[in-house]
A and B are shown apart, each in its own frame.
Chain A
């Protein structure tokens, strides 16, 4: 049974068509990543799937009673609003102190209940957002560019955490990203979006698809290889190595091997 399905979804703002006949499904337990350049409608699709945004045509169906944990793209908390981590976790639904501290521990933020949200660093903030999403015991976690503003080790760490969460909770994960090189290795399936679905499939299939290449060029291959090395905890002097891969096939094999 699919968790969320979009069928021929189009979204238009004024005269502009942001999404054009997009069809996709999210299956239980999978990590599905939507990649695409800026302005390709990734966030719009996510908001349509969540029911935040009405579609101009087409339908979005969610499994009845689907529990969704949502981590928004960015959340600005105004300095005039005092908010402890503990209080934030209970918005809008109350959760017990033990559940809250377990969720914080799960995301590496144990013992931060009394901290003010505005005192957290970008990475800590994202982890608290994730902890809040986990408290709903989600069947699917939805993350909109969750690592925006994090440095590269922070990014890699966050995606590792996501993989752990999926492993522990068995929930599906739906992510949006424009920094595909980091996300690729952590995904089961990738949808490449540019107003419409350009291509989709396993990460190595998408990274070799001509549509994907046309959108992202060839320069990202190096970045992908770079990430793979970081991910494998290889030595840093291997980084340059990635740029030497002339053949995309080579990379795809690398990746398949890795997975």
Chain B
């Protein structure tokens, strides 16, 4: 069954949605959209390093994404004006990554695969990485769920309940780095943040509790992945952008649905 590239692609997309859905909810709730962008863009630098030192792409992106996520989260903890700082970090990480990759011989042709994903070329070992990473993230979030939610509502409230908001921030930072490493093959560095934010934002229209929103975000993410794959085959469009485009269409429909329901 796994011999079929389409089945592998579908499994990769669903695996990513499983982790990106709940994590994306936190990205939306905590207004970390740019944070996700900065981490994802840094992944290109990770790809360059991995190629230069013959490491696995997963290890390279995971390492650099983790470094970037930790940097950003430390700066945020010190009260920097995050808007500008993140803008600087996100785009310079991308620029340096692109320059670094240009030095690595023979990769220039493949660059598009890392920027926009190459889900149709997902191998069996890629699948193992994707599902292992996604399961880890999901387990981590499930384990810390209540604490994460409380810290997201109010750090004071969390601390008064004996929780440590800094630790919960670190949990999200770790999860984000893993998701970036998992997602680069599926939707590519430029569209990872979209895979986090769009399904979660679309899920908001249907949900009355945080748990429901996380579940809907998984379903919408998975539907986008499958729909995008189908569209990519049917219309011969690039797979990664097609997945995000389907997510965007679902988002637009969800927002209209939400607006209608509010008026009713």
Q: Which residues of A contact B (CB under 8 A)?
A: 47, 50-52, 68, 70, 72, 75, 77-78, 80-84, 87-88, 91-94, 114, 116, 142
Q: How far is the CB of A240 from chain B (nearest CB, A)?
A: 41
| Chain A residues with CB under 8 A of B90 | none
Q: Are A91 and B212 touching (Cβ within 8 A)?
A: no
Q: Which of A50, A68, A75, A78 contacts B29 (CB 8 A)?
A: A78
A72:B154 contact, CB within 8 angstroms? yes
Are B209 and A80 interface neighbours, CB within 8 A?
no
Q: Main secondary structure on chain B at its contact with chain A?
A: helix
**CB < 8 Å: which of A52, A77, A83, A116 contacts B159?**
A52
**Would B161 and A82 count as touching, CB distance under 8 A?**
no
When A52-B156, A87-B209 are in contact, do A80 and B150 touch as well, CB less than 8 Å?
Answer: no
Q: Mark B139-167, 1 if CB is under 8 A from A, else 0.
A: 00000001101101110111111010000
State whether B150 touches A82 (Cβ < 8 A): no
Question: Are A91 and B159 in touch, CB under 8 angstroms?
Answer: no
Q: How far is the CB of A31 from chain B (nearest CB, A)?
A: 19
Candidates A68, A81, A114, A142; contact of B210 at CB < 8 Å: A81
Q: Is the CB of A116 within 8 A of B208?
A: yes
Other-chain contact of B149, A70, A78, A92, A94 (Cβ < 8 Å): A92
- A82 contacts B160, CB within 8 Å? no
Q: Say yes or no for B170: interface residue by CB 8 A criterion.
A: no
Q: For the complex, what is the distance from the CA of A90 to the CA of B20, rounded to whole Å?
A: 25
Interface presence of B171 (CB below 8 A): no
- The answer to whether B209 and A83 have CB atoms under 8 Å apart is yes
CA distance A81 to B147 in the complex (A): 15
B165: nearest residue on chain A (CB-CB)? A52
Q: Which residues of A lie under 8 Å from residue B210 when comparing CB positions?
A: 81-83, 87
* Interface check B8, CB cutoff 8 A: no
Do B156 and A72 touch (CB < 8 A)?
A: yes
**Nearest opposing residue in chain B for A90, CB measure:** B146
Residue on B nearest A132 in the bound complex, by CB = B157
Give the chain A neighbours of B208 by CB distance below 8 A: 82, 84, 114, 116
B108 at interface (Cβ–Cβ under 8 A)? no
Choose among A51, A75, A80, A114 the residue that contacts B153 (Cβ–Cβ < 8 A): A75
A92 near B161 (CB under 8 angstroms)? yes
B180 to chain A, nearest CB (A): 22
Report whether B29 and A93 are in contact in the complex, using a CB–CB cutoff of 8 Å. Answer: no
User: Can you report 15 residue pairs joining A to B where beta carbons are below 8 Å apart?
Assistant: A50-B159, A51-B159, A52-B160, A70-B161, A72-B160, A78-B31, A80-B201, A82-B212, A82-B213, A83-B209, A92-B150, A92-B158, A94-B146, A116-B208, A142-B160
- Give the complex CA separation of A34 and B234 in angstroms: 69
Tell me whether B204 and A80 are in contact (CB under 8 A): yes
Chain B hits for A77, CB < 8 A = 153
Q: Is B28 an interface residue (CB 8 A)?
A: yes
| One of A50, A72, A75, A84 near B209 (C-beta < 8 A) | A84
The verdict on B207 contacting chain A, using a C-beta distance below 8 Å, is yes
Q: In the bound complex, do residue B160 and residue A50 qualify as a contact, i.e. CB atoms below 8 Å apart?
A: yes
